[in-house]
Amino acid sequence: MINRERVVEQFLTLVQINSETTKERQIADYLIEKFQDLGLKVEEDATAEITGHQAGNIIATLKGNDPNKPSIYFTAHMDTVVPGNDVKPVIREETIYSDGTTILGADDKAGITAIIELIHQLKEQPTTHGDISFVIMSGEESSLAGSRQFDTSRLTADYGYALDSDGDIGTIIVGAPAQIRLTALIKGKAAHAGVQPEKGVSAISIAAKAVTQMPLGRIDQETTANIGSFEGKGPTNVVCEEVQLIAEARSLKEDKLTKQVEAMERALKQTAERMGGEAEVTLEKLYPNYNFTETDQVVDVATQAIKNMNKTTKLTVSGGGSDANNMSGKGIPTVNLAVGYRHIHTKAENIDIDDLTEVPLLMYHIVKEAVK
């Protein structure tokens, strides 16, 4: 059913197109032409004007052959992390790797490959379906920038699937956390460090002591927090006057996320006040959480499709976000499906050819199950 040779050739082509996050123009142009050649209606939105990325999100629509059937969608992202330029894929024992000098880019060109092969299958082995949209996001690796700005009025889909998780085929990510970024500007008071250090207030000392007052790491099974950067520059003969601290908190539960962020903000402000300084804290919600159960349609359809493939279904939650977070938060129920890649964001990234070919087959079964 699935054309294995075509899938591998398509994947190898995609991973060799440079598309590090923010620099998606080349792959966007390739995909627009590809979808047009496959006979789909294609458009690119204007989100690049907001995100600052080279390309916006691509929406390709395969018209349904039965207008009375539900409309669904699939999404993947076109950008990769760094180092993702000049990828040289190699195949060893039916597994695809990079040559070790870059990432491979299976995250998420495996998802795009699956979308393209599904379109081939629906043309070669027609089955009843409503409108099917394919959304290729830009900027996923930049805190989900493309999907954050995506206008869901462009879609008629009732629900959909992101093709963007590691794990065995058959794994459904039914829950993922919201994330808030915390940026703090910590102000002390400059003074000569050798002559009158007692007249100064070290912003570095404030920040360091504040961090020790924060709950960090694994807070509970649903909540995490981390300090990403802590920067205070200056000569050693001056008491440091200013520090910038950037942190994040994530949780599957909104009330827990709020509690965690409040604790971090409180530690910064109270420590600064106690030590004679000041902390200005800015909060930015990068994306919302989502939580579904096996009774939700988006999960049930995928579960039945997996059973039809005689594979094991695994429902799980993730500690990371994906475009499914933003799309679900915007009102289109979306779960993330495992596509089989491993060691993403590293030079050891790889994917088995068997997994590459199973994902479009799973999608084909989802299309068939969606009309029942």
The residues annotated with a catalytic role in the active site are 79, 140
Please report which helix (H) or strand (E) contains residue 303, including its range: helix 297-308
Largest CA distance in the chain: 82
Q: Cα 234–240–246 angle (5° rounding)? A: 90
CA pair distance 344, 317, nearest whole angstrom: 18
Whole-angstrom distance, CA of residue 131 vs CA of residue 120? 15
The C-alpha atoms of residue 192 and residue 174 are separated, in whole angstroms, by: 56
Q: How many CB atoms lie within 10 A of CB 255?
A: 8
Q: CB neighbours of 234 closer than 8 A, spacing ≥ 6? A: 240, 241
Q: Alpha carbon 108 to chain centroid distance?
A: 9
What's the rounded Cα separation, in Å, for the pair 182 and 65? 48
Amino acid, single-letter form, for residue 231: E
Distance between CA atoms of residues 360 and 350, nearest Å? 18
Q: What is the DSSP string of 142-162?
A: TTSHHHHH--GGG---SEEEE
**Which region holds residue 176: left if phi is over 0, alpha if psi is between -120 and 50, else beta?**
beta
Query: Following DSSP, what letter does each residue of 252-279 receive, concatenated?
Result: SSHHHHHHHHHHHHHHHHHHHHHHT-EE
Rg value, the chain, Cα: 23
